[in-house]
Structure 1
Amino acid sequence: MGILGLGTVGTGTVELLLDSTGRNPLLSEIEIYRVGVRELNKPRKVKLPDGVIINDLNAIVSDPQVDIIVELIGGVEPARSLVLRAIQFGKHIITANKALISRFGDEIFTAADQAGVYVMLEAAVGGGIPVIRPLKESLSINRINTVTAIINGTTNYILTQMQMGSGSFDDVLTDAQNLGYAEADPSADIDGLDAADKIAILASLAFNGRIRLEEVYYEGICKVSKIDIVYAEKLGFVIKLLAIAQQDKKDNLPAPLSVRVHPTLVPKEHPLASINGIYNAILVEGEPIGQVMFFGPGAGAGATASAVSSDILNMVAELKISAQTLNPILTWKLHKHNEITPIEELITRFYARILTRDEPSVVGKLGTCFGKYGVSLESVVQTGFQDKLAEIVVVTHDVREGDFRQALKEIESLDTIHSTPSIFRVL
């Protein structure tokens, strides 16, 4: 076996594989033949025999002594080129790289299918939470309706701390960076792209078709303010960054998928409302299973190394049974692309916080504009004042997103309306 990368996850994986006491006995049969790194002279936390660690990654993927390539370097390049080259040489692939899979899964899975090799990626979504294999195996007999997930620990930590009154978004983000829960450049997390990568992978499994990442709608948490968290609390909600893949039925036939990531008001009684801190959870709903939730640490060296090592163990077990024939349940024979519904067609509820001049006719004008576009209001509350402007919070019933946006555009053109600081969807 060859491992590409000896960073945090790579080191954790090597440590696990070298410490077989009390673990699955198959671990003792796994040989770490080569480990590829960029810098040979960098200090390492793990001790490996001389000659195992090299800086020629291409030599590892082409080495005939290597059966399995474990890609842990992250990013898109050179990971993509190395993985594709390894597949050309008949190597089985294990990766924790969600960005690689969500962007180039088509290319990688097609190549793997043609070469007759496995691609395993349990660690790419949810850290140490086992969810990829259950979707491929245990739940594969079900018709999945919805996957709703909290799959970014950084944003969940930030929102949890804000809910607990620990400070503003900027304050809590700085705290998360100091604690190592957020990267120095946290944009992929706080803008929702990391969660979009992950839900694209989950949706492809749950709905048996490939997902084009560019069709996945995503937005992040930068516009979530402390005041919105307070208002959500009063209304019986908490705010979470949710990744959702959903397939409704029309005339008893499957409709296009909705695949999206956005801050969401979640009812306090919902199973995901109590998932706090850096933890992740994936709620799967289907028929006949009903609801199943996977919960655990979504990141960290130990959690991710656990998932990578689990894939290694499963790969070795499969190859011991048959090196000639692949287990069809574990392959990625997804030849069609799922059709994705544009976000404008989404049917959902909305929360909007609107700043207006304090005039008696304002609420009436809001109701008239919303009614013009078929937007039914569940509640309209004037919550107080902000810099001499009245603050009005509205929550809608289910509405087509495009209709809601049209109504809001007309509302924002009214003389009495100052701005709409917050708009969130409601689960």
Structure 2
Amino acid sequence: MAEPLRIALAGLGTVGAGVIRLIETNAELIARRAGRPITITAISARDRTKKRGVDLTPYAWEDDMVVMGERGDVDVVVELVGGSDGPALACARTTIEAGKALVTANKAMIAHHGLELAAKAEAAKVALKFEAAVAGGIPVIKGLREGGAANAFERVYGILNGTCNFILSQMEDTGRDFADVLAEAQARGYAEADPTFDVEGIDAAHKLSILAAIAFGAKIDFNSVDTAGISRLRAADIAQADSLGYVIRLIGMAEPGIAADGSPRLFQRVQPHLVPFDHPLAHVDGATNAVVAEGNFSGRLLFQGAGAGDGPTASAVVADLIDIARGEIGAPFSVPVAELEEMPAADTGHRTGRAYIRFIVADRPGVLAEITAAMRDAGVSIESLIQKGRSEAEGEVMVSMVTHEGPESAVSEALRLLDGAPSLARPPLVLHILGD
């Protein structure tokens, strides 16, 4: 059998320990499938004394993870530290510049610095792989880059954050409000002590920008992702959606388009959506992730599974290592960096669809007339309008409506007309309805 592929691990948290367990448990199987053994040479983490449930004594310890990329006995560095900059980025740059392959689960680093790292990897003729950065153990990057490589993708969308999906599923099942369920998610380890990246949609936006680059051959552009999270949702919104035949899911969606001057554009948005009961994503519960890719010849492809956790994420990391052991490098974003297109953000005002709009208003006569007049003046056609009960604040009620299909710009104009209206106790909430 050929010489082993020697790896170094930077980061020994849940996933890092999972990688060690997987490589040790399935060593013989991995060697057969990779064509040679995959062995761990060196490791690094912030705390050398922390108990991690695995034996670390066989491996050389490096206090400085950046040094690992320069070791003569290392072929690949696996970066599992996280963070878009700092030690993770320094480790990644040093590794590639030293002519070593890099495997990472760091979606923030790839979203912010992926083009730079990919260009360095191409110049050094080494692999840069990041399957574990999107949707944990689901092989969606491999599915787009390899299995769907012959297709022109028309749309990519899905549930990209397990924390948000767990919270929304619990709100559906129990009728409890967001803050209460978030506290439970934190207690059970599904949400961080500071959950901002998850619940405000930033984590999903990182992942979406990576998928969009691979699917559409676009230069990755995280800053153009229109991002909103789930923290403004109420139990009443969940109940209202259910009565209308929908569930609420945080959906990341990307589509290519063409501007009026013929130049390419890219629509990228992360936002809670109303999802019809009969749509496959409506049945994705708990901390599960799911991605839908629509190819012009393949049709709708659905990738679904565990989006996080030590086992699934470690599985994705080691799958990348097996590819490298086989000599598979390839362009990190499917095509060389020089061939990726500049695709500025698309104008969303021309998009059409249906929307759910929720208002918290003063409980007094004339409020509904004021809202419907603004909708009329903006050209928004109302399919249904519902007012049910009082909110927790005395004197306030929730009014919600579903619009007929129309331009998003009309809804924006209606909200502009209502901006500052004394009858609105809180800013309106707009959720788009996921179409076929």
Q: Give the TM-score normalised by the residue count of structure 1.
A: 0.91
Q: Aligned equivalents of 2:23 and 2:310: distance in 1?
A: 14
In 1: Cα distance, 2:142 partner to 2:418 partner:
48
Q: Does residue 1:66 correspond to 2:78, yes or no?
A: no
Provide structure 1 residue ranges, at least 5 long, that are not aligned to the other structure: 320-325
* SS of aligned partner of 2:166: helix
| In 2, Cα distance between equivalents of 1:131 and 1:397 | 34
Distance 2:47 2:92 in 1: 20
1:201 to 184, 207, 210: 210
Output the amino acid matched with 1:372: D
What corresponds to 1:334 in structure 2? 337
- Who is 1:45 aligned against? 53
Aligned partners of 1:412 and 1:418 also within 8 Å: no
Q: Does 1:118 align with 2:123?
A: no
1:220-262: CA deviation from partner (whole Å, max 9, x where unpaired): 10000000111111111111111111235689x7852210101
Query: Which SS does the other structure have where 2:147 is aligned?
Result: coil
- SS of the residue 2:315 aligns to: helix
CA contact (8 A) 2:131 2:142 kept: yes
Is this contact kept in 1: 2:264–2:343, CA < 8 A?
no
> In structure 1, which of residues 371, 374, 377 is the aligned counterpart of residue 376 of structure 2?
371
| 1:305-320 paired onto structure 2 within 5 Å | 305-318=314-327
Deviation (angstroms), 1:65: 2.3
| Partner AA of 2:315 in structure 1 | S
| In structure 2, distance between residues paired with 1:228 and 1:55 | 50
Paired with 1:271 and 1:218, the residues of 2 have a C-alpha distance of 23
C-alpha deviations, 1:276-306, integer Å up to 9, x for none?
0000000111211111100101100111001
Which residue pairs with 2:187 in the alignment?
Answer: 178
Q: RMSD across aligned C-alpha pairs, in angstroms?
A: 2.4
Of 242, 246, 251 in structure 2, the residue corresponding to residue 237 of structure 1 is 246
Distance in 1 separating the partners of 2:305 and 2:139: 9
Identity in percent: 35
Q: 1:111 to 1:235 in 2, by over 3 A?
A: same
Match of 1:258 among 263, 267, 286: 267
Deviations 1:50-104 (A, max 9, x none): 5522323233111122111111111131111111111111111100000000011
Matches within 5 A, 1:278-297: 278-297=287-306
Q: Detail structure 1 runs of 4+ shifted over 6 Å in the superposition.
A: none
Moved more, 78-87 or 23-32: 23-32
Give the equivalent residue in structure 2 for 1:169. Answer: 178
Whole-angstrom CA distance in 1 between matches of 2:72 and 2:335: 24
Q: How does 1:13-92 map to 2 (within 5 A)?
A: 13-20=19-26, 23-24=29-30, 25-26=32-33, 29-50=37-58, 52-75=60-83, 76-92=85-101
> Contact 1:208–1:334 (CA<8 Å) still a contact in 2?
no
SS at the partner of 1:137? helix
Q: CA deviation at 1:418?
A: 4.5
What's the offset of the Cα at 1:145?
A: 1.0
Q: Which residue of 1 aligns with 2:3?
A: none
- TM-score (structure 2 length as normaliser): 0.89
8 A contact 1:258–1:346 mirrored in 2: no
Structure 2 unpaired stretches of 5+: 1-6
Counterpart-to-counterpart distance in 2, 1:245 and 1:149: 10
Distance 1:21 1:358 in 2: 67
- What corresponds to 2:405 in structure 1? 398
Q: Count matched residues.
A: 421
* Superposed CA offset, 1:305-359 (max 9, x none): 011011111110126xxxxxx5458865133332221445543322112244566
Residue 382 (structure 1) aligned with residue 387 (structure 2): yes
TM-aligned CA deviation for residue 18 of structure 1: 1.1
